[in-house]
Amino acid sequence: MKKVIVVGSLNFDIAVYTPRFSTPGESVLGNSVVLGVGGKGSNQATAAHRSGAETVMIGQVGRDFMAELLHKHYLEEGMSERYITVTDKAETGSGVIEIDPSGQNSIIVVKGANGTLSDIEVMKAADEFRSADVVLTQLETGFSSIEKAKELAQENGIPFIINPAPHQPVPEGLFDGVDYLTPNETECEYFSGIRVTDETSAEAAAEKLLEKGAKNVIITLGKSGVYYAGQKGCMMVPTTDLKSVDSTGAGDAFNGAFAVAVSEGMEIETALKFANCVASLSVTRYGASKAMPYRAESEKLLKDYYGITL
């Protein structure tokens, strides 16, 4: 079993299913509300775990009732909490999510304890990097934790993936030497300055991100699939035709699965298609972490849709 290290966020999610998104100053009657486990880091770790990897989650929560739901999730999944620390400096991170009937969402994230995760907590797991196969992180924690994860990954010759979400100003040189940079269309436009509307604009945007030092760029484009540019050339990979009911966590599903694919040494096109399948299955279910599919489901879709058997 391959080992995936995820340095990232853990959130308490409040998901509201609504007939339509509200406008400023407007109240809309919702259909239902669901409390759940989220945070890009925890979602990605769950996706990697259910996709067949040993997953080491490095993160931080507050000392409050919201952390209890996360604790329950990790117990039920059989995932280690060894490197999930508790801080008195901030509350557990949270997300407020609106989901409309088409499955589209609008999300407000409060970093909370995620924002206080630093290089100190990551260093406590330094020994894990010596036996890891890939490291994955995002932008929902303190930047020193991300920079330390990158440093340890590079010291140990491990592929390092940054999902640059949510988009925000980042330290100079953060993307330099990153093995895989995986923005969606919005994040890609923010960091490249180019709006992605088709394959041509995706190619131009990816080139800008490669110029920032990333070795490979993967732009996730929702129903349009993914665009890849980097050391293996360029390609557009279509996604499946499964119907979405809740797109929350779809990008996290993709990233967690892609990390597993990299850890297993899959060829890039196969890795992208495998990750597409995991993301596609996740949006057919409600919720974030709990919507992540298991390996057998993803392999079946990979075979049925793409004709690939692992």
Count Cβ atoms below 10 Å from residue 74 Cβ, excluding itself.
Answer: 20
Active site residue 252: yes
Count Cβ atoms below 10 Å from residue 195 Cβ, excluding itself.
Answer: 12
* Beta pairing partners, 16: 33, 98
The catalytic position among 13, 133, 179, 252 is 252
Q: Are 234 and 198 in contact (CB under 8 A)?
A: no
CA of residue 57 relative to chain centroid, distance: 13
Compute the half-sphere exposure of residue 277: CA atoms within 13 Å on the CB side of its CA.
Answer: 25
Place of tokens 């589209």: 104
What's the DSSP call for residue 6?
A: E
> Measured on CA atoms in the order 182, 185, 187, 188, is the torsion positive or negative?
positive
Under DSSP, is residue 27 helix (H, G, I), strand (E, B) or coil? coil
SS3 content of the chain, % helix, strand, coil (to 5): 40, 20, 40
Distance CA 8, CA 20 (A): 31
Residues forming the active site: 252
